[in-house]
Amino acid sequence: MGIQQELENEAPSKLSVRNISKIFHSKHQIVRALDGVSLEINEGEFVCLVGPSGCGKSTLLNIIAGLDQADEGSVLSDGQRISGPGRDRMVMFQEHALFPWLDVLDNVMFGLRLKPNLKTNERREVAKYYLHLVGLDNFLHANIHELSGGMKQRVALARALAPNPKVLLMDEPFGALDALTREQLYRDIQRIWAQRKKTIVFVTHNVREAVCLGDRVVLFSPHPGRIRHEYPITLPRPRDINSVSLAEKSGEILQALKGYLNDGVVTAANSRTPFNTDGAAE
């Protein structure tokens, strides 16, 4: 297989999350991390999962990744049941999870080396392409500990993109970064998403971030983890996190979020949107 062919975009996947439940048994209690969660994600859609911590966002992402098993329900990718991790779904974690014993280029090559039908120099070219895409041309042989937080996440993004997945799963990837670095990354991730055409599931507890990036914002509530509401975001792209229209939209979602955090029941007084308390399960 040639390098041109390798760099061509894989068609993004359609994901169907069907009635997923997951229970954790810890020492003293039973945690219902997910309770009957269903979600349809279209090909190439950018979906943001939002909610306070502990509402099962990471659990759902890990189940879609195939790293964890659901107790009930199933996840389909293009109609195929997901039973384990696969190169078609790459994950980006909050802690960058880069390998300190490898330099930047070798980190990006890690997944590529496991991909058959590529020559070593082709793999290197592919890795360089993605490092260029995230703006790290000059850091191919830097050590991980020498990079700033934002650069580490760029490497992690390049590493996730390199095997040319159909789906990108991102778990609060910018959570530990400062505001300025994050803003730059919002611009870059939108550009890369437009260019590489992935289906992206993006977990965050930052509503503004979700509105800035997502085609759709899916609001979760904890104990048990359920989908409370979905908000389509139709603002034009590329979006600026500081724009007024974006602030308005996130204000609306934030209010709903605060509402059910306060008393679990959303009243008309603290929400301007009609609220679907049964969850969004169809």
Ligand X SMILES: Nc1ncnc2c1ncn2[C@@H]1O[C@H](COP(=O)(O)OP(=O)(O)O)[C@@H](O)[C@H]1O
Among 13, 58, 62, 107, which residue sits at the site for Mg ion (rule: CB under 5 A)?
Answer: 58
Which CB, 19 or 94, lies closer to ligand X?
94
Residue 205: DSSP 8-state: S
- Tell me which H or E stretch contains 265: none
CB of 63 to ligand X, least distance (A): 10
CB of 201 to Mg ion, least distance (A): 13
Residue 115 binding result from ligand X, Mg ion, other proteins, none, given CB thresholds of 5 to 8 Å by partner type: other proteins
**Cis (ω within 30 of 0) for the bond into 165?**
no
132 token code pair: 């260029």
Which CB, 89 or 205, lies closer to other proteins?
89
| Footprint on residues 44-73 left by ligand X (CB under 6 A) | 51, 53-59
Do 206 and 245 form a contact (C-beta atoms < 8 A)? no
206 in contact with Mg ion (CB under 5 A) = no
Cα angle for residues 186, 188, 192 (degrees, 5° grid):
120
Please enumerate in sequence order all residues whose Cβ is within 8 A of that of 131, keeping only pairs 6 or more positions apart, or say none. Answer: 104, 105, 108, 137, 139, 140, 155, 158
* Three-state secondary-structure class, residue 171: strand
Which CB, 100 or 236, lies closer to other proteins?
100
| Footprint on residues 142-201 left by ligand X (CB under 6 A) | none
CB of 60 to ligand X, least distance (A): 7
31 in contact with ligand X (CB under 6 A) = yes
CB of 95 to Mg ion, least distance (A): 11
CB of 253 to ligand X, least distance (A): 16
Report the alpha-carbon distance of residue 228 to residue 250 in Å, rounded.
16
Binding site for Mg ion (CB under 5 A): 58
